[in-house]
Amino acid sequence: MTLNNIEEIASFIVEDGKGILAADESNPTCGKRFDSIGVESTEENRRDYREMLFRSKGMNGNIGGVILFDETIRQTSEDGTLLRDLILNQGALPGIKVDKGLQPIEDCPGETVTIGLDGLDERLKEYASMEAKFTKWRAVINIGDGIPTDKCIDANMQALANYAKCAQDNGMVPIVEPEVLMDGEHSIDDCYAATDRSLKSLFAHLEKNDINIKGTLLKPNMVTSGKDSNDQAGIDEVATKTLECLIKNVPVELPGITFLSGGQSDVLATAHLDAMNKIGGFSWKLSFSYGRALQAAALKAWSGKPENVFISQDELSHRAEMNKLASLGQWEEELEDR
């Protein structure tokens, strides 16, 4: 496929209802996932699992990009094919997570800033030589007593803008991910307020850094109740409030918004996305960039056993297809019955 610039790359990833498979779990996170199915988290097992995902028939036509971890972009499959070439062969683009995790903010208890700007330009040059077409950087915003503070929001959004500039200077699409966490007992209105402040700050910093919005993708949280709240907002309220917040803050020229699932169940994440697309009234593509919500059923079905590969691939293919339909506003719950 010939994509000449970052604007074409960003549009390609989300065209025709396609979304992103987030397979960029760090080794410790992957270890926790493997622990849940009783599989040792060795480099070979991680390779086998991801190779299985990338060879799933449902990747083709439903997934426009795959976010990789540093280890994965360098790995080859059992037959010697680079894993990133498996992704390209499925008609999707390989991308790479480039942040280096979280660091506490001084004098801001319970708040963090994402690090990784040191040496970023050199790392991006290497990843570009490995055919990575897009990048991802995650900021984390907590809701709690007196937080998020302006200091936390602005520090994280400034870092996102600096990263985005570096990515675009290297010819790669930046995915900017300002995640307001679901953790806590907060209300949907608390989540709306924190998300609104974060997006407002983010796009102000992107503008200040002269970021090409047409060559950028946004990976936000949905506006939901805290996961420990006794008053859980329904699907329609989540869809309405999320859209309201996005329309208020996101420039119309942004090509796509690819939601994170943020701990939602796989079907609920699909239902929320579909509800928003059925409401409509926005200029950008509204799609998905799911990790657990695409992989959970596949991981459980696989359980580290070679004889389960095809069953596991069917699970991933099904979820990819369901989320494509949701990105087009064409999903129905009955389609989950198989």
CA atoms of 135 and 168, how far apart (whole Å): 10
Does the active-site annotation cover 219?
Answer: yes
Distances (CA, A) of 299 to 30, 67, 171, 196, 326: 11, 17, 34, 34, 22
Quick one: pLDDT at residue 4?
87
Quick one: pLDDT at residue 23?
97
Quick one: pLDDT at residue 97?
98
CA atoms of 315 and 318, how far apart (whole Å): 5
Asked, for residue 156, whether it belongs to a domain, the answer is yes
Does the active-site annotation cover 315?
Answer: no
**Candidates 51, 111, 177, 179; catalytic one:** 177
Quick one: pLDDT at residue 202?
98
Asked, for residue 1, whether it belongs to a domain, the answer is no
Asked, for residue 25, whether it belongs to a domain, the answer is yes
Per-residue confidence in pLDDT tens, the chain, 338 aa? 789 899 999 999 999 999 999 999 999 999 999 999 999 999 999 999 999 999 999 999 999 999 999 999 999 999 999 999 999 999 999 999 999 999 999 999 999 999 999 999 999 999 999 999 999 999 999 999 999 999 999 999 999 999 999 999 999 999 999 999 999 999 999 999 999 999 999 999 999 999 999 999 999 999 999 999 999 999 999 999 999 999 999 999 999 999 999 999 999 999 999 999 999 999 999 999 999 999 999 999 999 999 999 999 999 999 999 999 999 999 999 999 87
Quick one: pLDDT at residue 20?
98
CA dihedral 335, 318, 326, 237 (to 10 degrees): 80
Distances (CA, A) of 85 to 19, 76, 111: 18, 9, 38
Quick one: pLDDT at residue 168?
98
Domain harbouring 207, CATH code:
3.20.20.70
Q: Which domain holds residue 35?
A: 6-336
Asked, for residue 42, whether it belongs to a domain, the answer is yes
**Candidates 18, 165, 219, 285; catalytic one:** 219
Asked, for residue 118, whether it belongs to a domain, the answer is yes
Quick one: pLDDT at residue 329?
98
Quick one: pLDDT at residue 2?
83
Asked, for residue 138, whether it belongs to a domain, the answer is yes
CA atoms within 13 A on the CB side of 39: 22
Quick one: pLDDT at residue 17?
98
Please tell me the total count of domains within the chain: 1
Quick one: pLDDT at residue 337?
87
Three-class DSSP labels, 87-134: HHHCCCEEEEECCCCEEECCCCCCCEEECCCCCHHHHHHHHHHCCCCE
Quick one: pLDDT at residue 317?
98
Quick one: pLDDT at residue 338?
74
Quick one: pLDDT at residue 313?
98
Quick one: pLDDT at residue 232?
96
